[in-house]
Amino acid sequence: MPISAPEPLLEVGGLRSGYGKIAVLHGIDLHIGAGEVVSLLGPNGAGKTTLLRAISGLLPVTAGRVRFGGADLAGGDPRAAARAGLVHVIEGHRVFTQISVTDNLLLAGYDLPRRERAERVEEALSYFPEIAAKRQDKGGALSGGQQQMLAVAQGLVQRPRLLMLDEPSAGLSPVLVDRVLGVVRALKERGTAVLLVEQLIEKALAVSDRVYALAQGHLVLEAGAGEADLPHRLERAYFGQDVPNALHA
């Protein structure tokens, strides 16, 4: 008798979403397993941010379903998603500049019991030694890159089963990019799944198990991150034609 595969941690089926009358996503099917790192790639305006927002409930879903941990997510309720373990660190997330790093993190766990909250803050800081060393400083005293790491740490306080990161490396120096992607690796080792939107394709692929490419609101490619012909397939997915050397020059 065949053994049925376990349901993935996240399963998105036939998802349509957009902004009012502007349809952006035209029926998206994707899945992420527990502990899997998946990159979502695609050209500017493809709909990557829109897809993360629809999954986490920041945008209403016009059609289709989002199942997480075996249950339907109530659309339009990002807090319920976070409570279920699906945490979305939005692009360009701003931290509170007038309160300390520690207080920024405590706020991210505001609904947890006090002792647990303190433990979670320490756990989140353990991923980022640079900001742990500045825990008493105000958020505004951190560099832009450190503030971005603090935003990721705020997501970690919620101890997600799936962390969705929207361009976490945007504007970061190469050293900090590697630090953030190193955190993705560390999360995977601890069994946390990650859905990563990134412009730095090669760096994203280096930490990923699988990749999806989105173009004009359609998923146009799904592949293992280590597949040999992936650069060419991504080019075709991005540009709708074969443009040798553009991505792997």
Ligand X SMILES: Nc1ncnc2c1ncn2[C@@H]1O[C@H](COP(=O)(O)OP(=O)(O)OP(=O)(O)O)[C@@H](O)[C@H]1O
Closest approach, Cβ 234 to ligand X, in A, equals: 14
Query: What residue has token string 């971005």?
Result: 148
Closer to ligand X at the Cβ: 47 or 168?
47
- Cα 57 to the center of its chain, rounded Å: 14
CB 121 within 8 A of CB 102: yes
Measured at the CA of 123, the angle between CA 194 and CA 110, to 5 degrees, comes to: 90
Phi, psi (deg, nearest 5) at residue 7? -65, 140
For the bound state, the minimum distance from the C-beta of residue 196 to ligand X, rounded and expressed in Å, comes to: 13
Residue carrying the six token digits 């991504």: 234
Candidates 59, 80, 71; CA nearest to 16 is 59
In the window 42-101, what residues touch ligand X (CB under 6 A)? 42, 44-50
With CB under 6 A as the contact rule, the residue among 7, 14, 19, 27 that binds ligand X is 19
* Shortest Å distance, C-beta 220 to ligand X: 13
Q: Is residue 154 a contact residue for ligand X (CB under 6 A)?
A: no
Residues in 225-244 that interact with ligand X by CB under 6 A = none
Which range in 19-27, 72-80, 111-119, 134-142 contacts ligand X by CB under 6 A? 19-27
CA atoms within 13 A on the CB side of 67: 13
Closer residue to ligand X (CB): 45 or 70: 45
Q: Which residues here bind ligand X, judged by CB under 6 A?
A: 19, 22, 24, 42, 44-50
